[in-house]
Amino acid sequence: MSIFSGKNILLGICAGIAAYKTASLVRLFVKAGANVKVVMTPASKEFITPLTLSTLSKNPVYSSFTNEEDDNAVWNNHVDLGLWADLFIVAPATANSLSKMANGVCDNLLLATYLSAKCPVYFAPAMDLDMYKHQSTSKSFEKLKAFGNIMIPATSGELASGLVGEGRMAEPEDIVKFIEDDILNKLPLKNKKVLITAGPTYEAIDPVRFIGNHSSGKMGFEIAKAAANLGAQVILVTGPTHQKVSNSLIEVVSVTTAEDMYVEVHKYFNGTDVAILSAAVADYKTKEVAPQKIKKKEHTLILELEKTKDILASLGAIKKKQYLVGFALETSNELENAKAKLNRKNLNLIVLNSLNDKGAGFKGDTNKVTFIDNKENITEFELKSKAEVAQDLLNKITEEIHA
């Protein structure tokens, strides 16, 4: 999954010959899973048609404050456009538009939208050599960067005038790569390795039957997605589940039993910075697994069970620099039991959820949790989606490891 998946990208197009490249740029963002809208300066329509961009983006293209061809003129709200965007990319950014952006001139819809945007703004200059080197253009670059805007450097090559030199807009593929790298390098968990467990474990009784639980794996998978979205390299060790994830930063390791999970977790733990064990691991397994299916002969069946290895405690015993997080699903004396587990297993943080809370627990899309850290700070949350709980958890971990 691309870093752009689900992002709202607003592409601003100025009047330069490089505007023809924006068809490819729109297509690349859409292919990466982004929602793309285009706002153009009126003069840029002489270089590429709104119809082309609308077809590729699957959205209307905006170039004026009202739709002039509409008898019932509708105002194109630049404020709404600016607030909609997660990223605003001005490409090509001409000397004229850059100067206006740098000096707060607002004489078209694109410039008004720029002044309303609250998201990161990238600009890709495109102009002839002498214009690119002119002192006024250099001042525009510096002012815009001082405002927090990010410049995508122009490249060298043959220009529209026939001159050869700096001023060519970066190629669409390079623009996408530049923005992707810039976002990833600023993420708080960049270069961090995060180990996550999810789902249930199944402990065999015979070749057909097993001891298991109702865990769906949803919570662990949401945590993995949230960690990857913050730039982490994620190892997700999961028991049997129907959950799916597609992200180049997440490596999924599938296991079945508690012993399988123990082995895989210990394989990766030493190389990780953060370990979050959200799996519902079976506490017991059968002492002996029947080699054949057990036939139904008697009214009762007695199984001898033995404890599985305590994965969380085993990591707490050997951890060095790792930030270790456990989960506690309780039905009574919730806080006391969670605090005891936190201390007994040498955790940095424990996430408590109670089956007494409506909407919490297995299978559902929501959860209600309380964080307890090893300084006994307690933070309670309202009922939220598991995706929001995962984000709260990663925010807490990020704050702790960067403290």
CATH number assigned to the domain comprising residue 68: 3.40.50.1950
What is the C-alpha separation between 111 and 41, in angstroms, rounded?
A: 8
389: Cα within 13 Å, side-chain hemisphere: 28
Task: Give the pTM.
Answer: 0.78
Domain-terminating residue out of 120, 155, 186: 186
Mean pLDDT score across all residues of the chain: 92
- Mean pLDDT on 191-195: 96
Of 228, 264, 275, 221, the C-alpha closest to 245 is 221
User: Which pLDDT band holds residue 362 (cuts at 50, 70, 90)?
Assistant: low
Residue linked to tokens 């000397």 = 95
Residue 399, judged by CB atoms within 10 A of its CB (0-12, 13-18, 19+), counts as exposed
- The answer to whether residue 24 sits within a structural domain is yes
pLDDT of 241 above 90: yes
- Count the domains in the chain: 2
User: Which pLDDT band holds residue 5 (cuts at 50, 70, 90)?
Assistant: confident
Whether 213 is a known active-site residue: answer yes
Residue-wise pLDDT for 220-240, tens only, equals 999 999 999 999 999 999 999
What is the C-alpha separation between 352 and 329, in angstroms, rounded?
A: 6
Of 26, 40, 173, 135, the C-alpha closest to 97 is 40
User: Which pLDDT band holds residue 373 (cuts at 50, 70, 90)?
Assistant: very high
Q: Which is it for the CA torsion 8, 13, 18, 20, positive or negative?
A: positive
Residues 223, 127, single domain; the answer is no
Residues 327, 228, single domain; the answer is yes
- The answer to whether residue 125 sits within a structural domain is yes
Q: What is the CATH number of the domain that holds 383?
A: 3.40.50.10300
pLDDT of 366 above 90: no
Residues 319, 368, single domain; the answer is yes
CB 281 within 8 A of CB 217: no
- The answer to whether residue 298 sits within a structural domain is no
Q: What is the pLDDT of residue 360?
A: 61
Domain that holds residue 71: 8-186
Domain-terminating residue out of 159, 186, 213: 186
Residues 236, 280, single domain; the answer is yes
What is the C-alpha separation between 179 and 189, in angstroms, rounded?
A: 17
Read off φ and ψ for residue 358, nearest 5 degrees. -65, 130
Residues 153, 181, single domain; the answer is yes
pLDDT of 70 above 60: no
What is the C-alpha separation between 123 and 132, in angstroms, rounded?
A: 14
Q: What is the pLDDT of residue 1?
A: 62
> Which member of 67, 77, 96, 213 is catalytic?
213
Residues 284, 389, single domain; the answer is yes
- The answer to whether residue 2 sits within a structural domain is no
Residues 111, 233, single domain; the answer is no
- The answer to whether residue 370 sits within a structural domain is yes
- The answer to whether residue 339 sits within a structural domain is yes
Residues 180, 198, single domain; the answer is no
Tokens of 340: 């005891």
Residues 140, 226, single domain; the answer is no
- The answer to whether residue 295 sits within a structural domain is no
User: Which pLDDT band holds residue 57 (cuts at 50, 70, 90)?
Assistant: very high
- Lowest mean pLDDT: which of 46-55, 60-69, 132-141, 142-151? 60-69
Residues 258, 339, single domain; the answer is yes
Q: What is the pLDDT of residue 158?
A: 77
Residues 116, 19, single domain; the answer is yes
What are the residues whose beta carbons fall under 8 Å from the beta carbon of 208, sequence distance 6 or more? 293
Domain-terminating residue out of 165, 186, 207: 186
pLDDT of 301 above 70: yes
Residues 200, 126, single domain; the answer is no
- The answer to whether residue 297 sits within a structural domain is no
